Chains A and B, each alone.
Chain A
């Protein structure tokens, strides 16, 4: 199997001169489809910076990222946007849902912005909501959803464009532990079902049992790369699917 996301010699620092902090230092790493990879490390170790560079959101000072064979940082800004729209999905700590929209409208929105017809967008959004187990909540607004449900709506919104790679930065840190596990288990199901490459930044060791692989980031490089034994599936997974 070939790696779907390949980072080579990533360098990145913030600030200038004496105040300069080096965050990524000649970091190379590969990610495979159908797997959940956790990126862990101390606060300030550069996890978010790495994820943004991998996801085409932050141009590294040096190095390349290739996603499905495309060199991200050789693309023009417009081409990079198009590439992200076609291949990448993002999930963040805050759920970032519009208070005015129902769950169904939130999920259909990426397609609507992409120029999809209303009826088709709605049908695909319904399918994505069903996949995260929220068909019953389609007409509810964020104020009527629990935290875990909101994050699952956000996941459905990331899924609806059928991305090859899902980037998640601390997707569970606003949730309690059972909701957090359930969200990561859901991401793992998605990885297995669609062959999606899922990269999750987290500092919660409890999530390790829902991942194929755990990376430890330290001093700007991958300090430890650990394969997890196929875990006993949590009963929660069945519910979420």
Chain B
């Protein structure tokens, strides 16, 4: 076993603060990132959960939840593209919810096609809830919103003063931006007060592609086909990413996240380098003896850096365990929490880098070392 690991294992108590500070900086970063991505991921839950790979929106759309209406007739135009096999419209309108016991709440009513095979039917409703919505004046809400909406399965409520019945609760259709209520387009039409205004207007046109067609290519074709003042085409992924980016920038949460992450890492570097420095200082005479017999400072430094790297790796593993636990808890409490493999890999790399940088900082003591001063 190397000198670095032997010392590390024998005196692990001295190294523990460094390991924990790397761990906690990583956990802080990942939990924030997970909440952030999870939270903003819900903004686009509507797009992410449907099967349609191409979306048509109003031209100035910045984010999925702030889209103006477009003519339903665009669907026919879109179908002219040979790669598009099927289109459908999706209508999203604001409404006012009032539960049986009088709780009122602004909601977003989503009018879908009430069939399990519909493009606009979100994946969590596919199994049976979409089909249930074919019954007039029925709605579906998400399980995680049921409390807020003060309702449950088979509960009665009013939207814009019209009575509706909750036929079921979905799971995984929560959004931080708003509270979604899913219903059929037909029911939605009945809920709208000034029906004359919106005949022929929808919020989105969804399109399904022929198998093997490339969404990005189709979108490019559509962009030249569609009148640019009337509509804009996106792949589902483009629309989703643009919406999340808009939220991240507009809300300022992105900057806050960056700030607190950098702060967390700085604290980790300070604690880790101070811990390592303390260990080096406590063994300075031993190291000085080896400097005296002519072992280059760089060789001794490699011991410290190796220790730092082990601390980074150990901290990374501990961080993964803690973050996995947090993710479990979040799921249990319906808190949106999402982490990509990339995010985790970056956090591990940053943790390792933090530790190694701290190790390099601690090296100063070794290079300053004068054996003649210390061993007199």
Contact = CB atoms under 8 A, between A and B. Distances in A.
A96 interface: yes
Contacts of B299: 113
Interface of B: 3, 6-7, 9-11, 283, 285-286, 288-290, 292-296, 299-300, 371-372, 375-376
Interface stretch (A77-85, A184-192, A232-240): A77-85
9 contacts: A57-B292, A81-B295, A82-B294, A94-B375, A98-B3, A100-B6, A101-B3, A101-B6, A110-B295
A97 to B, nearest CB: 7
A90 interface: yes
Question: Which secondary structure characterizes the binding site on chain B?
Answer: helix
A13 to B, nearest CB: 15
Interface of A: 48, 52, 55, 57-58, 78, 80-86, 88-90, 92-94, 96-101, 105, 109-110, 112-114, 157-158, 161, 169
Contact of B289 (A80, A96, A100): A96
A158 B292 CA distance: 11
A133 B376 CA distance: 27
A82 B294 CA distance: 6
Nearest to A163: B293
Contacts of A158: 293
Given A57-B371, A96-B285, A89 B7 contact: no
Given A48-B376, A57-B371, A112-B3, A98 B283 contact: yes
Contact of A99 (B11, B296, B375, B376): B11
Given A92-B289, A92-B375, A98-B286, A81 B10 contact: no
Contacts of A78: 296
Nearest to B375: A92
Contacts of A96: 285-286, 288-289, 375
Contacts of A81: 294-296
- Quick one: which of B9, B285, B289 has the most chain A CB within 10 A? B289
B157 to A, nearest CB: 69
Contacts of A109: 3, 290
Given A98-B283, A110-B293, 7 more contacts: A89-B293, A96-B375, A99-B10, A99-B11, A100-B6, A101-B3, A109-B290
Nearest to A86: B294
Contact of B294 (A52, A84, A98): A84
Contacts of B376: 48, 52, 169
A84 B293 contact: yes
A236 to B, nearest CB: 26
Contacts of B7: 98, 100-101
A55 B292 CA distance: 9
Nearest to A80: B294
B255 to A, nearest CB: 45
